[in-house]
């Protein structure tokens, strides 16, 4: 976790963000509030968005996070191609160029198997699957994330494995008592870099849901 947070620090500094008001400096996905279940839990509807993701299956959660973050950060830093090569023998055709992409927030993580993780960066809204630069790393993919209803548990402090597990259990328990039920597996959203004062940090456990009557 420490190495992952260090990488997040570097990404934020390279993005040219100040130490104050860091979250507002990043573009965030758009949501529509549907229902407030408590001070910490809400139901929202997300809008379709393009993301870049990678999956790492190696022994050690911290090592997997580090590897995933590096791959995605490399992509937005220029490890991509704006246009595909269509004719490598045509010397008059300019070679494809790369493009730097703005960092956004949150960073999404989820478990895969015992030790692996999947990580996503959401791309700025101006990009579509057709226009976004293509990753040069075959382990990195562009994915179209559909809009969905989400149950969200917000918490501050460190997004440690223990806190994520505890808050996921709390959210699932409260959903069982509500008019919503889980439709997929939970993910974690991390909004702030590690230098943010702990009680000001925003983290989320997010579970896609459906109305219990559906």
Contact 202, 191 (CB under 8 A): yes
> Cα separation of 193 and 13, whole Å?
10
The structure tokens 């223990």 sit at 162
Q: For residue 207, tell me if it sits in a domain.
A: yes
Q: Is 144 exposed, middle or buried (0-12, 13-18, 19+ CB in 10 A)?
A: exposed
Q: What is the pLDDT of residues 113-163, one digit of tens each?
A: 767 899 999 999 999 999 999 999 999 999 999 999 999 999 999 888 899
Q: List the domain range (segments joined by +) for residue 57.
A: 2-81+96-211
Q: Strand, coil or helix: what is 67?
A: helix
> Within a domain: residue 90?
no
CATH of the domain at 44: 3.20.80.10
CB 148 within 8 A of CB 31: no
Structure tokens at 210: 């459906």
Given a contact cutoff of 8 angstroms between Cβ atoms, the answer to whether 141 and 40 are in contact is no
Q: What average pLDDT does this structure show over 68-76?
A: 97
pLDDT, position 4: 53
pLDDT at 3 over 70: no
Residue 54 placed within a domain: yes
Residue 177 lies in a domain: yes
Assigned domain for 86 exists: no
The closest of 124, 100, 155 to 28, measured between CA atoms, is: 124
Backbone angles phi, psi at 140, to 5 degrees: -115, 135
- Candidates 20, 140, 161, 5; CA nearest to 74 is 140
**Looking at the chain, how many residues does it have?**
214
Give how many domains the chain has, as a whole number. Answer: 1
Query: Does the pLDDT of residue 2 top 60, yes or no?
Result: no
Over pLDDT 90: what percentage of the chain?
A: 64
pLDDT at position 1: 54
| Domain-located, residue 189 | yes
């Amino acid at each position: 976790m420490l190495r992952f947070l260090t990488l997040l620090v570097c990404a934020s500094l390279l993005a040219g963000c100040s130490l104050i008001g860091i979250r507002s400096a990043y573009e965030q996905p758009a949501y529509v509030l549907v229902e407030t279940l408590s001070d910490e839990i809400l139901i929202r509807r997300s809008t379709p968005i393009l993301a870049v993701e990678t999956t790492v299956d190696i022994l050690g959660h911290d090592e997997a996070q580090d590897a995933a973050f590096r791959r995605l950060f490399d992509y937005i830093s220029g490890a991509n191609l704006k246009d595909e090569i269509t004719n490598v023998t045509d010397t008059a055709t300019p070679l494809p160029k790369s493009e730097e992409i703005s960092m956004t927030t949150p960073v999404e993580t989820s478990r895969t198997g015992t030790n692996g993780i999947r990580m996503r960066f959401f791309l700025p809204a101006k990009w579509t699957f057709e226009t976004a630069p293509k990753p040069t790393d075959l382990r990195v993919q562009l994915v179209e994330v559909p809009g969905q209803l989400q149950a969200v548990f917000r918490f501050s402090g460190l997004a440690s494995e223990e806190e994520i597990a505890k808050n996921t259990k709390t959210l699932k328990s409260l959903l069982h008592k509500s008019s919503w039920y889980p439709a997929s597996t939970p993910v974690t959203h991390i909004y702030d870099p590690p230098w943010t004062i702990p009680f000001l940090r925003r983290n989320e456990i997010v579970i896609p849901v459906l109305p219990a009557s559906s």
